[in-house]
A and B are shown apart, each in its own frame.
Chain A
Amino acid sequence: MTTSRKRFTAPQRLLHWLMAICILSMLFIGVGMVSTVTPKYLTLVQIHKPLGIAILVLALIRLALRFVYKAPALPPDLPEPIKLAAELSQYVLYALMIGMPLIGWGMLSAASYPVVLFGSVHLPSILPVSPSLHTLLWRAHHYLAFAFFAFILMHVAAILFHKLIRNDGVFEAMAPVLTRNQPK
């Protein structure tokens, strides 16, 4: 699933950075909203739901683009364990980007909450009302959110490692604009 291109295509890069903003906001909103009883709670919940669905849609588009345009190959001199970690982490990140919104949607459905996006626009319920299902999904949503954030921190640390220590072109493959000291 690699291409001879050195960089991801422009639509892929655009989606990556757009989603980076959305997902980081989402994680901060999520962890913030459950820790407050102020009116901010409602505002954050009202952003959380439509933003989650937006991330789901963007992630599916991105997955399709990935199948079409593929990804630039990793540097050939990258040690095998790191290469493996890099590839596995992409599977994990895609699974979280698609899974978390679905789990949230299912969790609300199992709790008999309406899934309101904005105004009178709402999504159908995707699961039967069930305390046990709700509990399972709520726990998954909760713990996976922390795992997601941890993964993003690792992702950031890894790409900074590629850029600042190895300077091997991996950062440039997804950089929004080309930096001056790009690899030859």
Chain B
Amino acid sequence: MVQSSTSSGTFRLRPLLFIATVVAVAAVAFAYTAGWLSPHRLTPKKIVAGLAPPGGPALGHRRNHAKGICFTGTFEANGDGSALSRATVFARGQYPVVGRFNLATADPNAADAMVRVRGIGIRITTPDGQEWRMAMIDAPIFPVSTPQSFYELLTASGSKDPDAMKKFVSAHPEFPTFVGWAKSAPWTGSYAEERYNSLDSFLFVDSTGATHPIRWSIVPTAQPVPISPDELAKRGPDFLEQEITQRVAAGPQRWTMVVTVANPGDPIADPNKAWPSDRRTVAVGTLTVQQIEPERDGPCLNINFDPTVLPSGITTSDDPFPAARSAAYSRSYNSRTAEASYYPGTATGAKQ
């Protein structure tokens, strides 16, 4: 069956060169795809590294929103969301929730009064096994307009150059809008008194297949009581966790989920731009927080509140942030789970 082997002693260079070329071209294409030949590509690794404080990240913890506390509860849909989205989570009914109140800081031991932005992570599970995960903050807009600008903000704020932030601000006129909120908005003394916003725009897909660009918020039923950061500092570095634990133990805390529908022409792709306040809103249900649990051994510890984990009926929009957040959250999750032994008190990891 063999027609010809190499005639002995003849070294055939050309086919060997051809083989080497094929292998080399494939290897270079692979390296290019992996970003090894593109040092300027914005990677999840760069964003996560940019979040780290000068002394390095807190091992075993989320790379941002590192300080937090778990909760469980329910989302009770009133059925009104079904006109906008066919997701089962909007069908009238009650669905279990695991969530996490948190502070937007890379330091899990930060004092509450030192952190301006507060957040909430929520996972709603429907009986068909689908999940809707979200991570929202109490700011009404995001500090910048694009993931690239966010990376530049991280780089500037961590820079030793005293003019770095000044340069950043002059190049990003959208940033002062956020600073204006940070400086003027009242602080509260409770996670339960905050309104949390999706900021990013998503698309709701209705039963006819039509898409509706939306954002959503959860609006507290608790009355916000303003408090100065100084007063909050006096109550102790971990006051917010103590307060929410006592508050929920005394009675469940509720938020109304309100969906805002964009008008044509509203900025979908830029979470730094608020939509006009007269946009149509639909209250779609109620989030009830029933039990608080410490993060250590708590049900939220091993959950990545990746905002792109969406049920059928909700998709991402032209907003570039959810993809960037998903990529960065994933890297953060991979890092912190590999460092689980550093997480205080959980040598063997947490229960589910």
- Chain A residues in the interface with B (C-beta under 8 A): 6, 27-28, 31-42, 45, 75, 77, 111-114, 119-120, 122, 124, 128-132, 134-135, 138-139, 149, 153, 156-157, 160-161, 164-169, 181, 183-184
B250 at interface, CB cutoff 8 A: no
A112–B302 Cα distance when bound, in Å, is: 7
Name the contact of B2 in the complex, choosing from A32, A77, A139 (C-beta under 8 A).
A77
Please, which residues of chain A bring their CB within 8 A of the CB of B16? 165
Separation of A122 and B88 alpha carbons in the complex (Å): 14
CB–CB A128/B352 < 8 A? yes
Q: Are A36 and B41 in contact (CB under 8 A)?
A: yes
Encoded as 1 (CB less than 8 Å from any A CB) or 0, chain B from 1 to 34 comes to: 1111110000010011011001100110110011
- The answer on a CB contact under 8 Å between A131 and B3 is no
Say yes or no: B34 contacts A32, CB within 8 Å: yes
Those 10 A-B pairs whose CB atoms lie nearest each other, nearest first: A35-B35, A164-B15, A131-B337, A120-B312, A131-B340, A37-B324, A31-B34, A129-B352, A131-B349, A183-B3
Complex: chain A residue closest to B15, CB-CB: A164
Q: Inside 8 A of B88's CB, which chain A residues have their CB?
A: 120
Q: Nearest Cβ distance between residue B80 and chain A, in whole angstroms?
A: 21
Q: Choose one: B4, B15, B340, B349; the contact of A160 (CB below 8 Å).
A: B15
A36 CB to closest chain B CB (Å) equals 7
> A120 near B311 (CB under 8 angstroms)?
yes
Indicate whether B308 reaches chain A with its CB closer than 8 angstroms: yes
| Partner pick for A164 among B5, B19, B23, CB 8 A cutoff | B19
CA distance in complex: A113, B133 (Å): 10
How far, in Å, is A154 (CB) from chain B's closest CB? 8
Known: A37-B147, A39-B316, A120-B128. A166 touches B5 (CB 8 A): yes
Which of B22, B41, B131, B350 is close to A114, meaning CB atoms less than 8 Å apart? B131
Answer whether A153 and B26 are a contact pair too, CB < 8 Å, given A35-B41, A167-B4: yes
Distance A138 CA – B18 CA, assembled complex (angstroms): 36
User: Per-residue CB proximity of B115-157 to A under 8 Å, as 1/0?
Assistant: 0000000000000111100000000000000010000000000
Are B35's CB and A36's CB within 8 A? yes
- The answer to whether A42 and B337 touch (CB under 8 A), given A37-B47, A111-B304, A160-B19, is no
Contact A184–B1 (Cβ < 8 Å): yes
If A129-B352, A134-B337 touch, whether A42 touches B322 (CB-CB below 8 Å) is: yes
Asked if B43 CB lies within 8 Å of chain A CBs, one says: yes
- Who on chain B is nearest to A122 by CB? B129
Query: Is B83 among interface residues, defined by CB-CB distance under 8 A?
Result: no
Q: Does B303 contact A (CB under 8 A)?
A: yes
User: Is B320 in contact with chain A by the CB < 8 A criterion?
Assistant: yes
Given A113-B304, A153-B27, verify A164-B18 contact (CB < 8 Å). Answer: yes
Q: Which residue of the partner chain A has the closest CB to B337? A: A131
Q: B73-97 CB contact bits vs A (8 Å, 1 = yes)?
A: 0000000000000001000000000
Residue of B nearest to A184 (CB): B3
CA distance in complex: A37, B340 (Å): 25
List B contacts of A35 (CB < 8 A).
Answer: 33-35, 41, 43-44
Contact with A along B295-320 (1 / 0, CB 8 A): 00000001110101101100010001
Known: A37-B43, A114-B130, A119-B312. A160 touches B35 (CB 8 A): no
Q: How far is the CB of B206 from chain A (nearest CB, A)?
A: 15
| Interfacial chain B residues near A160, Cβ < 8 Å | 15, 18-19, 22
Q: B324 to A157, Cβ gap below 8 A?
A: no
Per the bound structure, the CA–CA distance linking A164 and B18 in Å amounts to: 9
Query: Cα distance A20–B309 when bound, in Å?
Result: 30
CB-defined contacts of B34 to chain A, threshold 8 Å: 31-32, 35
Give chain B residues whose Cβ lies under 8 Å from the Cβ of A122.
Answer: 129-130
- B333 at the A interface (CB under 8 A): yes
Given A129-B302, A165-B15, A168-B5, the answer on whether A34 and B44 have CB atoms closer than 8 Å is yes
**Are B129 and A114 in contact, CB atoms less than 8 angstroms apart?**
yes
Contact partners of B302 in chain A: CB under 8 A: 111-112, 129-131
Q: How far apart are B233's CB and chain A's nearest CB, in angstroms?
A: 34
Q: Determine the chain B residues whose CB is within 8 A of the CB of A33 once the complex forms.
A: 327
Which residue on chain B has the smallest CB distance to residue A78?
A: B2
The interface centre, meaning the residue of B320, B338, B350 with most chain A CB atoms within 10 A of its CB, is B338
- B340 A132 Cβ-Cβ under 8 A: yes
Q: In the complex the two chains form, is B320's CB within 8 Å of A38's CB?
A: yes
Instruction: Give, as a whole number of angstroms, the nearest-CB distance from B148 to chain A.
Output: 9
27 contacts between A and B (CB under 8 A): A6-B1, A31-B30, A31-B33, A35-B35, A36-B41, A36-B42, A37-B43, A37-B324, A41-B327, A42-B308, A45-B326, A112-B304, A120-B312, A122-B129, A124-B129, A129-B352, A130-B302, A131-B302, A131-B349, A135-B338, A138-B334, A138-B338, A149-B30, A160-B18, A160-B19, A161-B19, A169-B2
